[in-house]
Amino acid sequence: MNKKMIMTPGPTSIHEDVRLAMAKPITNPDLDPEFYEFYKNTAEKIGKLMNTDNEVLILSGEGILGLEAACASLIEPGDKVLCIENGIFGRGFGDFIKMYGGECTFFSGDPRRSIDIHKLEDFLSENNDFKLATMVHCETPSGMLNSIKEISLLLKKYNILTVVDAVSSIGGEDVKVDDWKIDIVLGGSQKCLSASPGLTFLSVSEDAWYSIRNRKQPIIGYYCNLNIWQDWYKKKWFPYTQPISDIYGLEVAVDRLLKDDKKFKRHERIANAVRYALTESGIELYPKDGWSNTVTSFKTPGGIKEEEVRNYLVNNYGIMIAGAFSDLAGKVMRIGHMGENCREEKVFMTLKCLDKALRSFGIKLKKEIHKEFINCLD
């Protein structure tokens, strides 16, 4: 298989230091006391990245596991749950809510704009009898960022537990779990952290733990049951065998981010330049506001198929960008500039080849995309 430059919004490319860490000899994680310390220290480092003193768990499974685990552990049949959504993943929370017996109420925003906090405030003034609310920080398919700070603090006024999907933002956007009073926030290894796919991590507040441990009915299932982690460190007992090599790599990836005090500025600078370059060249961004600094979603120019453009990029230049799915299938293309993908030279090459690809399909661009990218950086 030929080497490809993966410029997708996850998985992202992995630094050599992370790959080397994954090659270290393994141990038996259930019997080795040192591994319990290693796991705990790695979880605490993730807590620093998310600005929280809450307990952090690393789960063996892609980011979706964290979303389902939060819903499975908090929701009991008949619980009223508010699903705040303006996109595919936000709406998808509703499936988990219903799956675990919750009564789901949707607060739906404009799919091309971030959640309107004033409209949400008006809604909550008359409808606030909810046990918890779910929301997404970065809607990856649309490249849109929601103000989870404002939303979470507003929900807390009504004592509503908050569950936030920050899979595509942690490490690329500043997330302050404790200051913003988020009860459960979820992340993934393969996005801005630029580690191997297969791990999800989450922080759990004392309020969330209280709700989980004082349920009237037992949690359905095992793998998505956060309560099985109770006192894991004190007992030196894991609910299941840990994916050691993946966690070795994750620790190094987190260390790299913690040492990078310019990571948020770098993501912002490059994202601004990508958006500028595309719009100056006559390409329409999909979001109308609330643009994410980790992924840019733009409308597929008329008269061409996004899949053909993406295949052209892979076959001719070895560069992989993403389309979308569900109601955005065929309508948008996406460039991931997060984590190790958020480097000037990689983004420049991606935009240069995208410029050539679009022109090869007969798209008349106003300017050269890659040159506008550099002009904006300068």
pLDDT for 72-107, tens place per residue? 999 999 999 999 999 999 999 999 999 999 999 999
Closest CA to 120 of 104, 132, 109: 109
Predicted local distance difference test score (pLDDT) of residue 302: 87
Closest CA to 292 of 137, 164, 151, 184: 137
Dihedral-angle region of residue 361 (phi above 0 means left; psi in -120 to 50 means alpha; beta otherwise): alpha
Is 11 a residue whose pLDDT tops 90?
Answer: yes
Element (H, E) at 119: helix 117-126
CB 294 within 8 A of CB 267: yes
Q: What is the DSSP letter of 191?
A: T
Look up residue 48 and give its two tokens. 């620093």
Q: Which residues pair with 165 in a beta bridge?
A: 136, 186
How far, in Å, CA of 368 to CA of 373, rounded? 9
Is 308 a residue whose pLDDT tops 80?
Answer: yes
How far, in Å, CA of 335 to CA of 141, rounded? 10
Predicted local distance difference test score (pLDDT) of residue 365: 97
- For the chain, domain boundaries: 5-9+261-377, 16-259
How far, in Å, CA of 273 to CA of 121, rounded? 33
Predicted local distance difference test score (pLDDT) of residue 195: 98
Residue 17 phi, psi (nearest 5): -60, -35
Look up residue 21 and give its two tokens. 């860490």
Predicted local distance difference test score (pLDDT) of residue 155: 98
Domain 16-259: top CATH class: alpha beta
pLDDT tens sequence across 330-377: 999 999 999 999 999 999 999 999 999 999 999 999 999 999 999 999
pTM for the model: 0.95
Predicted local distance difference test score (pLDDT) of residue 357: 97
Predicted local distance difference test score (pLDDT) of residue 251: 98
pLDDT tens sequence across 278-306: 999 999 999 999 999 999 999 999 889 99
Element (H, E) at 311: helix 306-317
Predicted local distance difference test score (pLDDT) of residue 3: 81
Check the CA dihedral 348-350-353-358 and report its sign.
negative
Predicted local distance difference test score (pLDDT) of residue 378: 83
Is 160 a residue whose pLDDT tops 60?
Answer: yes
Residue 262 phi, psi (nearest 5): -110, 10
At residue 135 the predicted structure's pLDDT band, cuts being 50, 70 and 90, is very high
CA distances from 240 to 30, 195, 225, 228 (A): 8, 21, 12, 10
Predicted local distance difference test score (pLDDT) of residue 2: 61
How far, in Å, CA of 175 to CA of 264, rounded? 10
CB 347 within 8 A of CB 20: no
Look up residue 216 and give its two tokens. 């009237």
How far, in Å, CA of 92 to CA of 295, rounded? 19
Tell me the average pLDDT across 41-55. Answer: 98
For 335, the 3-state DSSP assignment is: strand
Please name the CATH architecture into which domain 5-9+261-377 falls.
Answer: Alpha-Beta Complex (3.90)
